[in-house]
Structure 1
Amino acid sequence: MNYNQPPFYDQRQFNFPGFLWGQLFGPGGQQQFPGQQPPGGFPGGNGIAGGGQAGVPNTPPPPFTPEQPQFQTYAVDPGGIRGCMFRFTYVWLRRDAFWFFPTYVGRNSIAGFRWQGNSWVYYGIDLDRIESFQCY
């Protein structure tokens, strides 16, 4: 047993591209909270918060809020949203909408950076929570 990790967590369940156990739980099992930079950089990044495909966008999102499309889905297909990787994407959830910069698309979720009004914060979303999206 590794005593540096909190009990009851199976590290294998978190092994997918762009995620490392040490990026959620830092040295000594200390949990990282939203808005904090995990040890070694952002998941899926190169450890440098700089723009481009490897990290946080270095510019704010476009200065407008797009209109939500008329159609709505029960769940977003990973293949459909994969084309928005590393692009500014407006996402509509059931009760929220925001600019997002996806850097990882999985079978059931996406992860990337959410615009919080004046900065980008690492964020993950289950695909079944997304009603619609539009990338630019």
Structure 2
Amino acid sequence: MYNQPTYFPYADYNQTAYYNPQIPSYEASDEMRDVELEEYRPDDAEDAPTGPPPSQAPAVPSTFASPVQSSNIKAWMCNCLGRWGYLRLHRPGPFGRDLWFFPTEVRRDGVSGYTWQGGRRRKVSYRYQQISNFMCFA
């Protein structure tokens, strides 16, 4: 009695895995990763900038003050990975409203990278909704 597997009358155990018919490229995956176990390396990260950004703020065009679409910002960030760029936020953050930003990871809903403050690099992350504009520099 206690060694028997439990079967419910309303469950069909012979059915195939569910695939979402509304997303044609959807494939089920058993792969999971535990984010809490990943190693966080704020100061010795391999993708961190090796030097400070330019000492002066760049001469930005007047159109830099007007917000752009987040899809454009995401594309610009992808093209600027590993280089310093100038970032403008909708609201001032702990590092100001306009700041140098070194993107290292572009995600679906945000971007991570480094900024420079007090002679040291600082790891930061922003959602695209926080970013008003971005300009990349060599």
Q: TM-score range with shorter-chain normalisation?
A: 0.5 to 0.7
Which residue of structure 2 aligns with residue 134 of structure 1? 135
Structure in which a larger fraction of residues adopt strand:
2
User: Which consecutive residues of structure 1, in runs of 5 or more, have no partner in the other structure?
Assistant: 1-14, 24-38, 43-47
Which residue of structure 2 aligns with residue 62 of structure 1? 54
For the residues of structure 2 that align with 1:103 and 1:75, how far apart are their CA atoms? 20
For the residues of structure 2 that align with 1:40 and 1:88, how far apart are their CA atoms? 22
Which residue of structure 1 aligns with residue 88 of structure 2? 92
For the residues of structure 2 that align with 1:70 and 1:76, how far apart are their CA atoms? 19
Provide the alpha-carbon RMSD of the alignment: 2.6
For the residues of structure 1 that align with 2:36 and 2:68, how far apart are their CA atoms? 31
Where in structure 1 do 4 or more consecutive aligned residues deviate above 4 Å? none
Residue 58 of structure 1: how far off its partner (Å) = 1.6
Aligned residues: 97
Kindly indicate whether the alpha-carbon contact (under 8 Å) linking 2:87 and 2:99 is maintained by their aligned counterparts in 1. yes
Give the partner amino acid of 1:80: W
Give the partner amino acid of 2:133: S
Question: For residues 22 and 116 of structure 1, do their structure 2 counterparts lie closer, same or farther at Cα, with a shift above 3 Å needed?
Answer: farther
Does 2:49 match 1:49? Answer: no
Kindly indicate whether the alpha-carbon contact (under 8 Å) linking 1:56 and 1:113 is maintained by their aligned counterparts in 2. yes
Question: For residues 93 and 122 of structure 1, do their structure 2 counterparts lie closer, same or farther at Cα, with a shift above 3 Å needed?
Answer: same
Output one character per residue of 1:4-31: Cα deviation in whole Å (capped at 9) or x when no partner.
xxxxxxxxxxx89xx93235xxxxxxxx
Kindly indicate whether the alpha-carbon contact (under 8 Å) linking 1:110 and 1:124 is maintained by their aligned counterparts in 2. yes
TM-score by length of 2: 0.59
For the residues of structure 2 that align with 1:57 and 1:82, how far apart are their CA atoms? 16
Give the partner amino acid of 2:86: Y
Residue 85 of structure 1: how far off its partner (Å) = 0.7
For the residues of structure 2 that align with 1:132 and 1:93, how far apart are their CA atoms? 7
User: Which has the higher relative contact order, 1 or 2, with Cα contacts under 8 A spaced 6 or more apart?
Assistant: 2
- Describe how 1:1-136 pairs up with structure 2 within 5 A: 20-23=35-38, 39=39, 41-42=41-42, 49=44, 54-71=46-63, 72-77=66-71, 78-94=74-90, 95=92, 96-136=97-137
Output one character per residue of 1:57-101: Cα deviation in whole Å (capped at 9) or x when no partner.
121111110134323225432123211111001101123111111
For the residues of structure 2 that align with 1:49 and 1:89, how far apart are their CA atoms? 21
TM-score by length of 1: 0.60
